[in-house]
Structure 1
């Protein structure tokens, strides 16, 4: 048996990744030098051996392990964008103590440095302290940051922006807090959607959207087996049964038991093609590598474990000019900050050549269910047993009644979620500090209200005692 420490595993992981050596339009490297095979893009005076850089023993700026791990990832992926600054007066590092620790974690032997003069020790200390403090004084425009993150998502690992996991959740918390205080509008800032209730109209192709399907041979539906995506698959079969209709299901390894089989059975019932894809890695290993549960705002689990494998298959098998891609996106589920529309494309830029359409977007949930029931399309078995979604059993975004369903029907899976919470030291939903047990307690309260025929309160309105985590 070979035992590798977490630190060694981290270093091995990043040694295996190739650094990003960017080139200009003529194919010439943009970097100025290489430091132990890592590109150096920043201005610097010299490349030195890492052992020659001496940290200031009284450096007041502390660097937690999480920051150093992120810095190491950024340097490995982006190269050196700032040198380590060394004082000519004392010989100590004045700027870049964190970058030095990150370089040590990467196991590199060389680093770029810049040497600077200081008039006296006081000036040197002032520069050391100001290096971190000045950045803290900046006031970020959270909504602009969110907009930029949305734009670059799919082009780069968003962790490299510093907004990883809980930081992204906190970003949205801050936006919500601001909007609740200043009330830019009492309702959703997106245009109001008039949901279609008429079943016949719900199944028609709107005249203004007909052009999207002209010349298309393939209609592929990203299919989860839930009501929304089942409606989209049925809609595709009804309108384009003479073309190649495909239901594509991604199994990330944490789907509820029987979910893939149900998706297959629906496709067989509708007489459409069924495709099953799987990711190349394990969800829980990835969570441990990333240091936490997927974010509920920028869910890397969806891009890496659901849409990533699906998009890989589509790109490898279907020409963009011959294909329309669909899913079960619905207008009653998109958030106020979302820019999604009935024809919005994937956020992954490699898919931008493909046409996208979302049949369920402006069709009411009630009309969708009626249409499927009248057609005899099989419904997922979990709905009858209390489930609200066909989602992963460890989804951080699950609501209370979904958590209660998992606890009651799959107690072993529920116990594993608790085990992972303890292992990572983080609650299932980091944004709202909700553990799995808190969600179960919320589910019990909502189920009780539902049983009495009472209106359900928003989950945020429930005040859950702290020791629910230990129940």
Structure 2
């Protein structure tokens, strides 16, 4: 009986993470995604705190497919080796398309702002440096609000990060009927509540 030699689809293949010297990696010359010094510094801070948690994706010749910013951050930290997944059986067209897709697909994600504010507020309350989340002070001020200073210009309100929060409790319901009943009970008690489906 002949053995089936049809390769598994990529989605079913086991990924192998290798560790490469950083000088073996080279940027894709036509990478259309840019990385500002501030963004590279933020990535570096994340790597320092959490480690290198997201491997670089590279072609066999070392050309980076995904991870340009992470490699730049690692270089700035003097890291000698980085984790790499090699796209060994990808065509040139697939590699070029993924360079764009990897960045664009991440941009299409959104935020549940109420949950984001809740998470960031609790982290700030626990003393976590919110710079580690990648949100700049300007981002946080926009999310939580700003105050005007004496001359009328918008200035960051350092207390706004906590004062602007709404404190919530998330209760998981078994079904929609349970959710509706619970919502009615809370409203009868004068508790502000809203139903969410996730």
Q: Specify if TM > 0.5.
A: yes
Tell me if structure 1 keeps the 8 A contact 2:144–2:161: no
The Cα offsets for residues 252-280 of structure 1, whole Å up to 9 and x where unpaired, read as: xxxxxxxxxxxxxxxxxxxxxxxxxxxxx
Tell me if structure 2 keeps the 8 A contact 1:87–1:93: yes
User: What is the aligned length?
Assistant: 143
The Cα offsets for residues 83-126 of structure 1, whole Å up to 9 and x where unpaired, read as: 111113x5300010000000111112121111113542211111
Residues 295 and 55 of structure 1, relative CA distance in 2, 3 Å threshold? farther
Q: Are 1:60 and 2:32 counterparts?
A: yes
1:338 shift after superposition: 4.1
Tell me if structure 2 keeps the 8 A contact 1:86–1:114: yes
Which residue of 1 is the match for residue 123 of structure 2?
Answer: 152
Structure 1 runs of 4+ aligned residues shifted over 4 Å read: 293-296
3-state DSSP of counterpart to 2:160: coil
Q: Are 1:74 and 2:46 counterparts?
A: yes
Which residue of 2 is the match for residue 128 of structure 1?
Answer: 99
Tell me if structure 2 keeps the 8 A contact 1:169–1:296: no
TM-score, normalised to structure 1, is 0.28
3-state DSSP of counterpart to 2:95: helix
Q: Are 1:170 and 2:142 counterparts?
A: yes
Structure number with higher relative contact order (C-alpha < 8 Å, ≥ 6 residues apart) = 2
Residues 171 and 44 of structure 1, relative CA distance in 2, 3 Å threshold? farther
1:64 shift after superposition: 0.5
Which residue of 2 is the match for residue 108 of structure 1?
Answer: 79
1:295 shift after superposition: 4.8
Moved more, 118-127 or 133-142: 118-127
1:148 shift after superposition: 1.0
Report the Cα distance in structure 2 between the residues aligned to 1:132 and 1:295, rounded to whole angstroms. Answer: 32
Report the Cα distance in structure 2 between the residues aligned to 1:122 and 1:94, rounded to whole angstroms. Answer: 11
Report the Cα distance in structure 2 between the residues aligned to 1:171 and 1:44, rounded to whole angstroms. Answer: 39
Report the Cα distance in structure 2 between the residues aligned to 1:121 and 1:45, rounded to whole angstroms. Answer: 21
Which residue of 1 is the match for residue 148 of structure 2?
Answer: none
1:156 shift after superposition: 2.6
Report the Cα distance in structure 2 between the residues aligned to 1:91 and 1:106, rounded to whole angstroms. Answer: 20
Report the Cα distance in structure 2 between the residues aligned to 1:52 and 1:92, rounded to whole angstroms. Answer: 9
Match of 2:22 among 39, 43, 50: 50
5 Å matches for 1:230-309? 295=158, 297-298=160-161
1:145 shift after superposition: 0.5
Tell me if structure 2 keeps the 8 A contact 1:50–1:111: yes
Q: Are 1:99 and 2:36 counterparts?
A: no
Q: Are 1:141 and 2:107 counterparts?
A: no
TM-score, normalised to structure 2, is 0.64
1:44 shift after superposition: 5.6
Report the Cα distance in structure 2 between the residues aligned to 1:111 and 1:294, rounded to whole angstroms. Answer: 39
Residues 44 and 67 of structure 1, relative CA distance in 2, 3 Å threshold? farther
Tell me if structure 2 keeps the 8 A contact 1:118–1:124: no
Report the Cα distance in structure 2 between the residues aligned to 1:94 and 1:143, rounded to whole angstroms. Answer: 34
5 Å matches for 1:312-331? none
Match of 2:88 among 108, 111, 117: 117
1:297 shift after superposition: 3.4
Report the Cα distance in structure 2 between the residues aligned to 1:297 and 1:126, rounded to whole angstroms. Answer: 42
The Cα offsets for residues 25-49 of structure 1, whole Å up to 9 and x where unpaired, read as: xxxxxxxxxxxxxxxxxx8622221
Match of 1:87 among 52, 59, 64: 59
